[in-house]
Structure 1
């Protein structure tokens, strides 16, 4: 595919044209493109890859045979059979299948070449009226956005395979309403949660306190092995993620993104708790399994098993802890991660460091996710400056 080189706010696409019959290198073809405004880093990358592919086709006059009769439902069947299994993780594919079930009743009968932006906008408006069987409320905007992302991905693959010559779903989704702020516990509530955890078993106390201390994701915490913990450096190497899909075995896979493979750090107090918990795990392995605990064992594993525990177990238990102690039940395990990030920001930690600790691929993701917290920080900084200048 054409190479992509950044040039200020635009990008240079370069296509190598090979050699002529005398063995002399042909001049490469170049084209400058500028991505539409408002794209996320991931959307921009996808847009650029599509532009590079189309430019290379044009330069090399590659014939593209478009089957004008194929419908979206027919292509989805091809995609599920030939493309998705080799491209997507099982958890992602399971989620995409849910999104496919939502959009096929509306768009499945359309030919790929007949799909227009209005079809997608009408779909999203219809989905916003649907009632979720799980909550009894209209589908969340997060769900509608997920359907759009799924459609864009499938149609990008259709374009790459030559079924269509552009992606009709591009830029057809617009967030409806006001984005909700993340559910975050303030410092006082966090202290109450920590106090409540000290009345729980060592396993649950250690798990939740680790997330509070490091901001790791639920599945990342479930994927920890004892070998990942370095007591000399007081660091933890996060390099796995645990996922459980209904009807499937537990899946242990790489972190969500390349940036997710990272190191986080813990305090001497957390070190003491980890060591105390490990002593309990050593005793349990000996007493119940008649074996020695190894460094390759998962830190949080199922009873009488070497398999890791599932994230949903900790989700359910945390709700029980909140209810038992009269704490806000709108909080969840992911709230602990958000609270960690917010406290880092409140203490003046720069966005790049916060992004690195959370495992975000781009600092812009951190800024988008925690805009409210950064705004508070900017306001406090401005007020402090003005007081210092006596303005």
Structure 2
């Protein structure tokens, strides 16, 4: 792929779930010089289908035109054909799609490129199911996690679909048989959340943390279930102090090695999904931290040129309107969580935030050092343990599907299961005269 494109493309409609969806079409010249037509189902920034009605309806046509323009722009680039090796083809295809997918998604795809090295010597047009099966088997034998293998396979599968569309392959070699019988079963690791004592300890450490961005950022994750990028993307205008509510409306994405034309590696973007835009009530500790930090931030803003309205300044950011980065926030938390307990009291190097000689690391219920994202896991686990219904927890977490909340968190809390059984036991035992030696 990577084409000489004719014009700016056109729009069409196709039936979709009882309605219609917008389809983009473009004429392009392939590597052999032949003109072809390529079509793509258009999606919005969240990956959702852009739907419309039949006939002459122009509903959502503006969004469709914007998506079409972004897609056509991504099609213009270096030509790569079915004669290229699979690894190179996949890499170029990901880079060509920038503009139609989030840069954070593209960065994640490129992180999988080392896994494609065994296919580097296989031409894309000649890739066969036996090659894919051997590649999957090699990843499994190398001890790659099931989720990693499945994601790499999905990337190859969707790349092959596009290659078939433009004539670079005759058929997609990532068959349903391979998906059913060769891919390792997906496994969900239990969340490494803090237990009750761990929550108390972390709150105490945050109370005395010297860095206010660490204190407020970690509290947003632990007390509001916010992702690291969402913490960095929160603006003061999103904090309703009177109503006691935080409005989660954006996130800061990290392009990693994919720098934009302006050289920036981070950027503001919408939530992870439509469900990611949510309102989260504040706890007293979080509200107090935000109030104190707001006073300090507003004072600094007033001492500056006030070029950006204060409501548009980022909570963890700076008076000039710039944001704090998710990577920096993660590093601050990692220093505190690791404890640096192996360093001696005589070590003359500068101590990181939260480091104390002899202090043990912050570990979770799975015995691992707690990551920043584990604070978000803790928020959900505590909600479930407190008896909150799964639908409400899902909404607070910004999950697109409550089933994810149910599968990950509702099954992980033994105390919650015991309480649920204790409540149901009288109803289940009704009418029985049996007496057990031990029961709930």
**Would you say 1:198 and 2:221 are equivalent positions?**
no
Gaps of 5+ in 1: 7-11, 15-41, 46-66, 131-137
Partner of 1:79: 93
Do the aligned residues in 2 keep the contact of 1:345 with 1:373 (CA within 8 Å)?
no
Partner of 1:97: 110
Partner of 1:25: none
Partner of 2:119: 106
CA distance in 2, matches of 1:222, 1:199: 21
Partner of 2:195: 186
Deviation at 1:97, TM superposition (A): 1.9
**Would you say 1:274 and 2:290 are equivalent positions?**
yes
CA distance in 1, matches of 2:86, 2:279: 43
Matches within 5 A, 1:25-174: 72-73=86-87, 75-76=89-90, 79-80=93-94, 82=96, 84-106=97-119, 109-112=122-125, 114-116=127-129, 118-130=130-142, 139-164=144-169, 167-171=172-176, 172-173=178-179, 174=183
Partner of 1:255: 271
CA distance in 2, matches of 1:120, 1:352: 39
Matches within 5 A, 1:296-335: 296-302=312-318, 305-322=320-337, 323=339, 324=355, 325-326=359-360, 327-328=362-363, 330-335=369-374
CA distance in 2, matches of 1:269, 1:261: 23
Do the aligned residues in 2 keep the contact of 1:298 with 1:306 (CA within 8 Å)?
yes
Deviates more, 1:261-270 or 1:220-229: 261-270
* Cα gap change, 1:384 to 1:169, in 2 (>3 Å): same
Do the aligned residues in 2 keep the contact of 1:223 with 1:252 (CA within 8 Å)?
yes
Q: 2:15 aligns with which of 3, 10, 24?
A: 3
Partner of 2:421: 382
**Would you say 1:294 and 2:333 are equivalent positions?**
no
Partner of 2:30: none
Deviation at 1:104, TM superposition (A): 4.3
Deviation at 1:228, TM superposition (A): 0.7
Structure 2 length as normaliser, TM-score? Answer: 0.65
Q: 2:404 aligns with which of 356, 365, 380?
A: 365
Gaps of 5+ in 2: 1-12, 22-45, 50-80, 340-354, 433-440
Partner of 1:285: 301
* Cα gap change, 1:353 to 1:125, in 2 (>3 Å): same
Partner of 2:384: 345
Aligned CA RMSD, in angstroms, stands at 3.3
* Cα gap change, 1:129 to 1:297, in 2 (>3 Å): same
* Cα gap change, 1:353 to 1:112, in 2 (>3 Å): farther
Partner of 1:220: 230
Deviation at 1:336, TM superposition (A): 0.5
Do the aligned residues in 1 keep the contact of 2:88 with 2:120 (CA within 8 Å)?
no
Structure 1 length as normaliser, TM-score? Answer: 0.72
Paired residues, number: 326
Do the aligned residues in 2 keep the contact of 1:106 with 1:123 (CA within 8 Å)?
yes
